[in-house]
Structure 1
Amino acid sequence: MAEINIVCDYPHSPRKVWRAVTEPELIPRWTSTGKGARAVGFRPEVGNRFQFVAKPMPGWRGIVDCEVLEVRAEELLRYTWVGAEGEAPSYVRYQLEPTPEGTRFTYHHTGFTGIGGFAMAKMLGSIRKKMLTVGMPALLADLDETGALRRDAAEQGGR
């Protein structure tokens, strides 16, 4: 079974990183380095069903169906991921750990099966790596310490 595991250290508090990954209006700001998905209907509450919606492209309808499985504020978010109708779910986990310098963020996506799953994990892995090493740092720089978007960043629509 293929999986994606990316670990990034950010010089920001877990509170700020948590807000960046759980506030629906902020999510497209860090995912824009990938396909710019919007989290439609997302709430960090167990049982919440939501969708990531992006521009469709050949072979993909532009929608990922998800359900929140586990939440521990500022520590853990785990949800299912179904990229195509009828597909078995895979599983995404965001884990945040405080460090002396800020936050260690671990992105883990598992449950890819078969040769198609291997190819999907490879493709998604490179997209996620760019999101977390380019998009996320840019967003975190645009947030104040409470996790609110700075006025100048809001007016510019992000970086």
Structure 2
Amino acid sequence: MSEIHIVRDYPHSPVKVWRAMTDPDLIPYWTSTGKGARAVGFQPVAGNRFQFVAKPMPGWRGIVDCEVLEVRERELLRYTWIGAPGETPSHVRYQLEPTPTGTRFTYHHTGFTGIGGFAMAKLLGSVRTRMLTVGVPALLAELDETGALRPDTTLRLTQPR
């Protein structure tokens, strides 16, 4: 079984990183380095069903169906990921740990099976790496200490909300 495992250290508080990762209004800013997905209906509450909605492309309808499985505010978010109707869910985990200089963020996506799963893990892995290396730091730099977007931000969304 293939998986994606990415660890990044951010020089920002867990409060700020958590907000960047879980505020539906902020998510499109860091996902814009991928396909600019919006988290439609997302709330960090166990049992919440939501969708990531992005621009469709050949072979993909542009929608990922998800359900929140577990939440520990500022520490852990786990949810299912279904990229196509009838697909077996894979599982995503965001883990945040305070460090002396900020927050260690771990992204873990498991449950990819077969050759198609291997290919999908490779594709998603490179997109997620770009999001977590480019998109998240750019967003974090534009947030105040409470995690709110600064009114004078220069960040722009690539797709309308």
* TM surpasses 0.5: yes
Contact persistence 1:142–1:158 (CA under 8 A): no
CA shift in 2, pair 1:115/1:156, >3 Å: closer
Residue 82, structure 1, aligned to residue 82, structure 2: yes
Residue pairs, 1:1-159, within 5 angstroms = 1-153=1-153, 157=156
Contact persistence 2:33–2:130 (CA under 8 A): yes
SS, match of residue 151 in structure 1: coil
With normalisation by structure 1, the TM-score equals 0.97
With normalisation by structure 2, the TM-score equals 0.96
SS, match of residue 152 in structure 2: helix
State the shift of 1:158 in Å: 6.2
Q: Which amino acid aligns with 2:7?
A: V
Distance 1:157 1:24 in 2: 15
Mind listing any 5+ residue stretches in structure 1 that lack a counterpart? none
Contact persistence 2:36–2:157 (CA under 8 A): no
Distance 1:99 1:158 in 2: 30
Q: Which amino acid aligns with 2:72?
A: R
Higher helix share: 1
| Number of equivalenced pairs | 158
Distance 1:6 1:108 in 2: 7
Contact persistence 1:36–1:54 (CA under 8 A): yes
SS, match of residue 123 in structure 1: helix
CA shift in 2, pair 1:108/1:100, >3 Å: same
Distance 2:9 2:155 in 1: 26
State the shift of 1:156 in Å: 5.2
Cα deviation, 1:99-148, whole Å, max 9, x if unaligned, reads: 00000000000000000000000000000000000000000000001101
Q: Which amino acid aligns with 2:92?
A: V
Cα deviation, 1:32-66, whole Å, max 9, x if unaligned, reads: 00010000000000000000000000000000000
SS, match of residue 135 in structure 2: helix
State the shift of 1:157 in Å: 3.2
Percent of residue pairs bearing the same amino acid type: 80
CA RMSD of aligned residues (A): 1.2
Distance 2:71 2:59 in 1: 32
